[in-house]
Structure 1
Amino acid sequence: MNETLEEVVRWGVPAAVVFGVAALLAVTGLWALRRARRGPRARAAAALDRAAAGSALIALDDAVEELDLEVALSGALYDGTAPPALRRARMTAQHARDDGFAQLRDLAGDAHPDEIRRLARGIRTRVDVAAGQIAQARQEHAAWMTAHRTADAQLVQARARLETLRAELGDPEALVADIARQVEDDEAQAARAAADQAKAALGDAEADLSEAAELLSDPTRSALPALARAERALRRARTAARALEEQHRLVTEAARAAPGELAAARDALRQAEALRADLEPEDAERLGGELRRLADDLDAVEARAAGRPTSTIAGVARMRDRLDAAVGDARTAQQRMRGARTALPGTLAAARAAVARAEAAASTSSADARVRLSSAHAELAAARSAQDPVAALDAARRALRHAEDAVALADYDRLNGR
Structure 2
Amino acid sequence: MNGAPESFWQWAVPALIVFGAAAALAGAAIWALRRARRSPRARAAAERERIEAGSALVRLDDAVAELDIEVELSGALYDGTAPATLRRARMTAQHARDEAFAEFQELGPDTHPDEVTRVSRRIRTRTDAATAAIAHARTEHADWMTANVTAAAQVQAAQERWAALRDQIGDPQPLLDDLAARFDAAEWADAARAATDARAGLAEAERLLRDAAERAADPTRSALASLTRAERMLRRTQTAARTLEENHRVVVDAAEAVAGELEAARAALRQATTVRDGLEPADAARLGGQMREIEVALTAAEEHALRRPTATVAAVARLRDRLDLALGDARTAQQRLRGARTALPGALAAARQAIAHAAPAVAQAGADARVRLAAAEQDLARARGADDPVAALDAARRALRDAEDASALADYDRLTRG
Q: With structure 1 as the length reference, what TM-score do the two structures score?
A: 0.98
CA distance in 2 between partners of 1:69 and 1:260 (Å): 38
Instruction: Count residues in correspondence.
Output: 418
Q: Which residue number in structure 2 is paired with residue 404 of structure 1?
A: 404
Q: Is the 8 A contact 1:69 1:232 kept in 2?
A: no
Which amino acid in the other structure matches residue 25 of structure 2? L
Shift of 1:69: 2.6
Is 2:161 the partner of 1:161?
Answer: yes
Q: Which residue number in structure 2 is paired with residue 261 of structure 1?
A: 261
Q: Which residue number in structure 1 is paired with residue 212 of structure 2?
A: 212
CA distance in 1 between partners of 2:361 and 2:179 (Å): 20
Q: Which residue number in structure 2 is paired with residue 104 of structure 1?
A: 104
Q: Pairwise mapping of residues 131-170 of structure 1 onto structure 2 (< 5 A)?
A: 131-170=131-170
Deviations along 1:180-233, one digit per CA (max 9) or x if unpaired, are: 122111112111111111111110111111111111232222112211211222
Is 2:291 the partner of 1:291?
Answer: yes
CA distance in 1 between partners of 2:168 and 2:12 (Å): 94
Which amino acid in the other structure matches residue 28 of structure 2? T
Q: Pairwise mapping of residues 231-242 of structure 1 onto structure 2 (< 5 A)?
A: 231-242=231-242
Shift of 1:68: 1.8
Q: Is the 8 A contact 2:369 2:409 kept in 1?
A: yes
Which amino acid in the other structure matches residue 275 of structure 1? V
Q: Which residue number in structure 2 is paired with residue 317 of structure 1?
A: 317
Shift of 1:382: 0.8
Q: Which residue number in structure 1 is paired with residue 413 of structure 2?
A: 413
Deviates more, 1:398-407 or 1:277-286: 277-286
Q: Which residue number in structure 2 is paired with residue 389 of structure 1?
A: 389
Deviations along 1:31-63, one digit per CA (max 9) or x if unpaired, are: 111111111111111111111000000111111
CA distance in 2 between partners of 1:288 and 1:109 (Å): 37
Q: Is the 8 A contact 2:188 2:248 kept in 1?
A: no
Q: Is the 8 A contact 1:354 1:400 kept in 2?
A: yes
Deviations along 1:268-290, one digit per CA (max 9) or x if unpaired, are: 01111211122222221211111
Deviations along 1:51-82, one digit per CA (max 9) or x if unpaired, are: 10000001111111221232122211011111
Q: Pairwise mapping of residues 262-411 of structure 1 onto structure 2 (< 5 A)?
A: 262-411=262-411
Shift of 1:313: 0.3
Q: Is the 8 A contact 2:314 2:350 kept in 1?
A: yes
Which amino acid in the other structure matches residue 282 of structure 2? E
SS in 1 for 2:328: helix
Shift of 1:254: 0.8
Q: Which residue number in structure 2 is paired with residue 36 of structure 1?
A: 36
Structure 2 unaligned regions, length at least 5 = none
Deviations along 1:218-275, one digit per CA (max 9) or x if unpaired, are: 2222112211211222222221112111122111111111111011101101111211
SS in 2 for 1:373: helix
CA distance in 2 between partners of 1:225 and 1:381 (Å): 40
CA distance in 1 between partners of 2:252 and 2:136 (Å): 46
Shift of 1:378: 0.7
Q: Is the 8 A contact 2:152 2:217 kept in 1?
A: no
Shift of 1:18: 1.0
Q: Is the 8 A contact 1:377 1:399 kept in 2?
A: yes
Which amino acid in the other structure matches residue 73 of structure 1? L
Runs of 4+ residues over 2 Å off in structure 1: none
Q: Which residue number in structure 2 is paired with residue 66 of structure 1?
A: 66
Q: Pairwise mapping of residues 41-60 of structure 1 onto structure 2 (< 5 A)?
A: 41-60=41-60
CA distance in 2 between partners of 1:253 and 1:332 (Å): 32
Q: Is the 8 A contact 1:184 1:308 kept in 2?
A: yes
SS in 2 for 1:330: coil
CA distance in 2 between partners of 1:349 and 1:307 (Å): 17
Q: Is the 8 A contact 2:59 2:131 kept in 1?
A: no
CA distance in 1 between partners of 2:167 and 2:184 (Å): 29
Q: Is the 8 A contact 1:64 1:90 kept in 2?
A: yes
Shift of 1:136: 1.5
Q: Is the 8 A contact 2:198 2:238 kept in 1?
A: yes
Quick one: percent identity of the two aligned structures?
61
Q: Which residue number in structure 2 is paired with residue 191 of structure 1?
A: 191
Which amino acid in the other structure matches residue 371 of structure 1? V
CA distance in 1 between partners of 2:143 and 2:191 (Å): 41
Q: Is the 8 A contact 2:262 2:302 kept in 1?
A: yes
CA distance in 2 between partners of 1:131 and 1:238 (Å): 23
Q: Which residue number in structure 2 is paired with residue 4 of structure 1?
A: 4
Please give the root-mean-square deviation of Cα atoms over the aligned residues, in Å: 1.1
Q: Which residue number in structure 2 is paired with residue 123 of structure 1?
A: 123
Q: With structure 2 as the length reference, what TM-score do the two structures score?
A: 0.98
